[in-house]
Chains A and B, each alone.
Chain A
Amino acid sequence: MSVDFSQTDEDGSCVLRFEGSLTMLRARRLGEELAAIRADRIVVDLSGVERMDTVGAWLVHKLERDRGATVTGATEEQKTLIEHVAKADKPMTVRREPEPLVYQFVGQVGAASTMAFSTLFGLLGFFGSLCISIAHIFRNPRRFRFNAVVRQFDAVGVHSLGIIGLMSFLVGIVIAQQGAVQLRQFGAEVYTVNLIGRAAMRELGVLMTAIMVAGRSGSAFAAELGSMKLNEEVDAMRVIGISPMEALVFPRVLATVLLMPLLGFYAAILATVGGGIFSWVSLDMPPITYIQRIRDVIPMTDLWQTLIKAPTFGMIIAMAGCFQGLQVEGDAEEVGRRTTTAVVQGIFLVIVLDAFFAVFFTQIGWP
């Protein structure tokens, strides 16, 4: 064991003579060894110490404070350092007392419930003020911001054509391939076309588009409005007399509501095309036959379903994004949190609503 200090006993008192540097580097072992010393009177001799940092000073101060040690042989600098550390020795809470587990649990449940209800009320209020803004714009059409809407068309629609198209095309191939494998077992391979056509036109086209738009545009809305809110741009707008609802939220919601049906239809068509190409290559079904079969199996009501669902989903996604963005307060971290919430909320609400739509359309007798 290496010796950091030498210990000698002189008429009942224990003299600790430190050598070399008394710094943080040696604090780990030193703390334990000093605690192990059993002596009533301790004298600390610092005359052999070349370097001392605040941790060394702290250890010496602790000996003075707790064990009544006396310090000898300290230089002026070392004395100042020890004094300085002693001055900083005040009661200080470093750790939080953890609450009992039961309280924590109840508290978290309570916080989550209030959060859920306040978000719900907030969204409702947000929807209300959006309706009022729309009414204002109808009464006073000059307040309609054409440029802002066009810009959002570009951001939400045109720029997402590539990724939504590619995704739908691949999904179409996957459905066709998986469907063909399963249906082959019953010798019903030819019905793959029904599967592709109906799944794409009725459900997947619009649902996948909604998820992609939520991830691409819903998050962008939340982040944009959130950072504008942080930067006090939204407040500046209000002060100038521009309603953020009309200038920021309405163009985004309008663009998403109008573009979702277009994008959903586009996605459904591309998924059908993907399935068609798979059928052609893998099932030897010529494109002409495929198109004819598709025309036979897809009822018009499937298209109506997509065209009814799409704007509703768009509305929800855009509102969740803008609402969460405008809720941002405090620091930049909040922007990230709100963006995540916007996407999760948007996708969740879309899927819940999709389930309702599915039941509803079946009940009214659409095949």
Chain B
Amino acid sequence: MSEREPIIQVRGLKNAFGNQLVHEDLDLDVRAGEILGVVGGSGTGKSVLMRSIIGLQTPAGGDITVFGEEMIGRDEEHAKHIRRRWGVLFQGAALFSTLTVAENVQVPIREYYRGLTDDLLDEIAAYKISMSGLAADAGSKYPAELSGGMKKRAGIARALALDPELLFLDEPTAGLDPIGAAGFDQLIGELQEALGLTVFLITHDLDTLYAICDRVAVIADRKVIAVGTIPELLALDHPWIQEYFKGPRGRAAAAISEREKAGA
């Protein structure tokens, strides 16, 4: 797949709940191999956009193409084959609470590749969990025994179970302490580099945007108002973008990012 070819293509997306219009005429491209950050105020429909793309929410109108295949109105059997090419990390990690972390990781593998031996499954789960940066004893633990940050890492391990090409992350650093959040940013960056992933990342976290995102899409007024690198966005004079990146927190995150770049 060429660098320019979009992996996800959204055209004229329209979503509505009752009378409330969430998206109208929303266009978005996600290119292969990039980390695209999606930002927007609360209630602008970032999660709804993700849910529309991964097929959990049927839009009222528009086209969504993933891996060059039309996603809307596709039958379940065919959709399965596309679904196993992506992994999703939900906001609360959404681990199955009755299974251990290792079993959680094995669920998608067992579903799609029957007949693997238990030993191989355990080995796969072990290296996936280790790749996600969890401690050696985490595999046999239940989600209730994990902290918030560990749950998210376990969620990443499950999302990576099928070696996806595309990873959806819904606010991965929300609710983590700054150290945990920075560690998580680093993890996403490393995994993206090593596995050649394309990442669709919803976030509120300005540090995450500066640290790992190649491009940022801004959702406001029911559509994507701008997509580009942070310097490109800063050059626009949309009031929300200006306030977002030039507000006190935006300036702080920018300053840290500058300092880190100078240090490195």
Contact = CB atoms under 8 A, between A and B. Distances in A.
A162 interface: no
B140 A96 contact: yes
A147 B226 CA distance: 52
Contacts of A25: 113
B100 interface: yes
Contacts of A95: 100, 102, 122, 139-140
Nearest to A86: B127
Nearest to B112: A24
Interface range on chain A (Cβ under 8 Å from partner): 20 to 34
Interface string B156-174: 0000101100000000000
B126 A24 contact: no
A17 B177 CA distance: 48
B127 A54 contact: yes
Contacts of B139: 92-95
A155 to B, nearest CB: 27
B163 A28 contact: no
Best-buried of B120, B125, B137 by chain A (most CB within 10 Å) = B120
Contacts of A331: 97, 144
A94 B140 contact: yes
Interface in A10-63: 23-25, 27-28, 31-32, 53-55, 58, 62
B163 A23 contact: yes
Nearest to B124: A55
A55 B163 contact: yes
B113 A27 contact: yes
A85 interface: yes
Contacts of A55: 124, 163
Contact of B124 (A58, A84, A93): A58
Contacts of A77: 196
A233 interface: no
Interface string A64-88: 0000000000000100110011001
A333 interface: yes
Contact of B137 (A31, A80, A93, A333): A93
Contacts of B160: 54
B129 interface: yes
Interface of A: 23-25, 27-28, 31-32, 53-55, 58, 62, 77, 80-81, 84-85, 88-96, 330-331, 333
Given A80-B194, A330-B144, 18 more contacts: A25-B113, A27-B116, A28-B113, A28-B120, A31-B120, A54-B131, A54-B160, A55-B163, A81-B194, A81-B195, A84-B194, A88-B130, A89-B127, A92-B127, A92-B138, A95-B100, A95-B140, A333-B97
Q: 4 shortest A-B CB distances, which residue pairs?
A: A92-B126, A53-B163, A88-B130, A84-B194
